[in-house]
A and B are shown apart, each in its own frame.
Chain A
């Protein structure tokens, strides 16, 4: 079936450095992509989203890049802080279905 996957299960970065979390998706019909942050024992927190008619979108300290040619999504976090430590999930969706397919998740560890 269709799936969303991540290349790195765990990413360790030094505080202050930039982080890049990658995600591959397989459903070429997906047109909406979202990044969530999940801290231990809590629900996912919306970070940023992007639609398939864009290839880049910026938020506060975060940027999402979408490469539809290779079906790749990435989340860039600038000046990573200890509070960024969490598991990050990408999700894909197709407009109108309201259903998300989540990736397997990447744990981000910020080293002091």
Chain B
């Protein structure tokens, strides 16, 4: 299989605090992981590409200092939403590329962030 987990599944925080979301590939190693954001009834929007051992590549319009990404190992990438505000409330989903030769991404279950 190709199982990707995320933790936490839901988080509620106060405005101004930082929240860390973990993405793990459970049964494979992933050199590359991706972070998406999804608004209600909308499609997935790629935020950044996380590369193990190097800096993440951010999509245009995504603030690097706002959304900190760390890919410290081949099975773990983290997304930290810094100084969160209500407009950061969203569904955050990660994916992992199990085999670079196939380009297939496997997605985590998502994390619902609510900022009060």
| Contact yes or no, B44 A44, CB < 8 A | yes
Contacting residues of chain A (22-77) with chain B, CB-CB under 8 angstroms: 32, 34, 36, 41-46, 49
Which one of B45, B97, B107 has the highest number of Cβ atoms from chain A below 10 Å of its Cβ?
B107
Q: Is the CB of B44 within 8 A of A89?
A: yes
Contact (Cβ within 8 A) B100 A98: yes
B43:A43 contact, CB within 8 angstroms: no
User: Are A44 and B103 in touch, CB under 8 angstroms?
Assistant: no
Complex Cα distance, B104 from A84, in Å, reads 22
What residue of chain A has the Cβ atom nearest to residue B103's Cβ?
Answer: A32
**B 77-110 to A, binary, CB cutoff 8 A, 1 in contact else 0:** 0000000000000000101010010011111111
Query: Bound complex: CA of A44 vs CA of B106, how far in Å?
Result: 8
Q: Is the CB of B49 within 8 A of A98?
A: yes
User: In the complex, are the beta carbons of B97 and A41 less than 8 A apart?
Assistant: no
Query: B residues engaging A (CB < 8 A)?
Result: 4, 6, 32, 34, 42-46, 49, 93, 95, 97, 100, 103-110, 112
Most chain A CB neighbours (cut-off 10 Å) among B32, B34, B97, B104 = B104
Contact of A99 among B6, B43, B46, B112 (CB under 8 A): B46
* B107 contact from A36, A101, A104, Cβ within 8 A: A36
Query: What residues of chain A lie closer than 8 Å to B107, measured between beta carbons?
Result: 36, 43-46
A99 to B100, alpha carbons, bound, how many Å? 12
**Residue of A32, A42, A89 touching B43 (CB-CB under 8 A):** A89
Question: Is the beta-carbon distance between A44 and B93 smaller than 8 angstroms?
Answer: yes
Please determine whether B109 and A98 come into contact, CB atoms closer than 8 angstroms: no
A44 cross-chain contacts in B, Cβ below 8 A: 44, 93, 95, 107
Q: Are A42 and B110 in contact (CB under 8 A)?
A: yes
The winner among B42, B103, B109 for most chain A CB atoms within 10 A is B103
